[in-house]
Amino acid sequence: MENTRARILVAEDNPALAAVIEFNLRRAGCAVTRMRNGRLALEAAMEEDFDLVVTDHQMPEMTGIELCERLRALPQYMDTPIIMLTAKGLELDMSNLGETVGVSEYLSKPFSPAELVRKIEECLISSCAITS
């Protein structure tokens, strides 16, 4: 990442995967807030503004889709990039998720942490171009 520290919210209920994601994002220069479910992620998003959200699709208490819907209803998150992680990539219509709940990108599990960092960088560059 560049000189600015992007603030990334990660909602992932698998502790091992969440730790890998956090490690790689911090190594890439991001400031990371990690939550174990969608409900806690939404609470964090209401307290602090994030530049990008990474969310798992299936989580307890609030799914990634529900989290996206709730975030998109908040003015400060209407245009924030959201990357969804899913083990159901072949079962979900990701273009439909983009249109209905505003998912910017998705990655099917298992994925390379380097690929996630690359997608985050691309989303942040795109969102800066849109908002500038």
Identify the sign of the CA torsion 113, 88, 59, 11. positive
pLDDT value of position 116 = 96
pLDDT value of position 1 = 45
Residues 6+ apart with CB under 8 A from 117: 1, 24, 25, 28
User: Are 109 and 86 a contacting pair, CB within 8 Å?
Assistant: yes
The structure's pTM equals 0.90
3-state SS, residue 37: coil
Mean pLDDT, 10 residues at a time, the chain of 132 residues: 77 96 96 97 97 95 95 95 82 74 89 94 76 38
Q: Mind listing the domains of the chain with CATH numbers?
A: 7-124 (3.40.50.2300)
End-to-end CA distance of the chain: 19
